[in-house]
Structure 1
Amino acid sequence: MDTIADRMAAAYDDAIEDLCGATPKGWYAKRGTARAAVTHAGAPTLNVAYDLSREPDLDSLDAVTTDVARQVETWSIMVRSDADGAVADLAGRHGLRERSELPLLACTAGELALRADEAQRERVRRVGAADSTGELDGLPCVTTRRGGRGRGAVDASTGPCTRHEGTSTVSFSDDVRSAFRRGETDAVVRMSTAEIERARSVGDAAGEVEARYSLARVAIRGGDLTLGEARAREALDVAVRSGDRALEERPRHVLAAVARMAGDLTRARDLYRESIALNETLGRPETVNSETHNLAFCELGLGNLAEARRLFTLSRTRVFRHGWDEFVPYVCVAGAALASAEGDHPRAALMVGLADAAFAALGQVPDPDDAADLAAVRDAAIEALGPAAYAAAQERGGHLDPRTAFDDDH
């Protein structure tokens, strides 16, 4: 059946998927006919588990509801009105008690009146990495949808953009880092190559550094440490020439990571300490903390377990105290690596499961060095426990809460 309501449901599905893809922390998943869409916006309709088929797949909807609920505090479940009765019990099991209708309005593409004229289009520009949270008030905000799926049609439209406190423009940096964390390597290469050309043409050192840094990370993820180091040094050269020390931070981080992954832990330790000092000077406590985490891994590799545990605990405490949610998966990676180094392979397997779930909750994949650490922990645990026992422990770990999983650490 292809009624207007069916076509509207399909168009909504396309639109929310595009929105999640364009949002730096956006996450979108499919299971059966059910969908999960998370933007991390503070509106329940923008963090939603839904099934817009006439007969919802309740098992799949239950699963994606769990995925959405563990990522955000404000969320909802949505179905078509002729199916909502079957979902009420499911919603109740997940703690939702209120229910309301959500009208979905539509018109044909030919009837749209809010189109950008030529003068308005000329005022729209790409935001580069050098831009901060620039003033957007009064500029037209152009929204489009990606083509290619052949369902519905949404023309470009405009409306006034208002910048609210606490929000920022979406920059190349936001876009490319989000793509990297989602594992979209081809997109990172394409975006970074274009950004280098754009940045060099306008003298945007920040944009060029970010793009070259991103290409370095791609090379490292692909296992080419030599190329990764070369690209990081290219980024560092641009940063040094600019005279802006803040631009040196990411390239220096990559160079330290390459040294650690190459096994030169003494050099890596020195580079991480230098990075920590730089970020303390720049007033970047969150980056200081992430480099403390990396320094701890160096100490762990050098056999200094007590110092590694101290640094991991310091980093983890800061993460939970300040609500640095994007770093929670790496706290779990640290827990897995420390347990493995101490010979506690059952706990290491639990922590691997916890880390996998934490990355999935954010719609991310590990950075290359952390992925290597997790792989080493898995191999050691499987060898020590056997595949079946390891798999069972990893599965249990996926259901733990990261904020309580470390309560028995000392």
Structure 2
Amino acid sequence: MLEQFAVTLRHTAGNPKSGDAAYTVLSEQDFSGACAEITAWEGYEGTPLVSLPGLAEKIGVGRIDYKHEGPRFGLGSFKALGGSYAALRVLQRELSRRLGKDVSLEEIRKGAHKDACAGITLVSATDGNHGRSLAWGCQRFGAPCRIYIHAEVSEGRAVAMRDLGAEVIRIAGDYDDSVLLAKKEAEENGWFVVSDTSWEGYTEPPRDVMAGYSVMTREVCETLEQAPTHVFLQGGVGGLAASVAAALRQFYTVQAPRVVIVEPELAACLFDSARNGKATNFAIQEETIMAGLSCGEPSEMAWEILTEEATDFLTIPDSIVAPAVRLLANAETGDPAVEAGESAVAGLAALIAACQSAGIKETLGLDENSRVLLIGSEGVTDPAIYAAIMAGKDNV
């Protein structure tokens, strides 16, 4: 059953520096403010934390908990917490500026400024889930939305964003090219970029995105009776990983878990950043099956946190992603069945593969006493791709 996961993983050690980025880049106030607002939204419900004791026994660890974000606000991923909250905060800042008075998030949420919101266009680049969250938020708050997607984003994901009222612009390049075009056209037209990655001079929306993700982590911490010893976190630009790592540090302090970052071999910007000791771009030559993690440029703000919090960096081959999706869906280890998307299983696939290698398992300090937290970042966000995987296709 697990033989498919006997693959070579690349590992590089982080060099966590003592510092307070987990408290200053994302403050406790950032997190508490986001949690107070998002938990007040219509339709808010905590998502399941699924225990996987059967798999834990088979790979030789004490406990595995999988945070399943598929049901989140009906949007299928944790991104629902970030893009929509950041959109609300952008609208709050701009409306307050235009009206010359403080505008509350609640006022916007309840439609008090819908006419004014209609004149504020929000834009972003996406591999799918962030754009869907932004489109959903804009639809709720009454703002126009433009989403830029690259050539490899599936049409199913594009349709999902159009169905939420977004104008979707597809380009010929990759994700990083779509980011550049979104920035350029926003500057030319007076639109507002709501991105999950930061760059010099652009920090507020990415901070709000990461603050929104803390709702997910808070739910985990309030559910677990004991701190995890390890957390395996998907890479991408680093926003998810940095948010979770910071929130776990703030909640558990010295008992915070060992942070293991997982990326596709084909898009390993955080892995290269760790090897080089500084934020490093990765030239993507081929798209990974994990569409949400196909990012070549790390978020500078996220890297500030990860350089202090992440102990290990792993890359995984695409070949173990589809098997991990099927393992969860088919309940192959006797655990509850979970329908997960390709990016959701990165940490799961890496954990299983690491436990098939005595050397990597030892390096990561995994044993029968380990309690591992996994973030199942998305459910079935593209039904066609999911159906192909479940039909036995490993490359879709």
Normalising by structure 2, report the TM-score: 0.24
**Structure with more helix by fraction:** 1
Structure number with the higher strand fraction is 2
Larger Rg belongs to: 1
Using CA pairs under 8 Å that are at least 6 residues apart, name the structure with larger relative contact order, 1 or 2: 2
TM-score by length of 1: 0.23
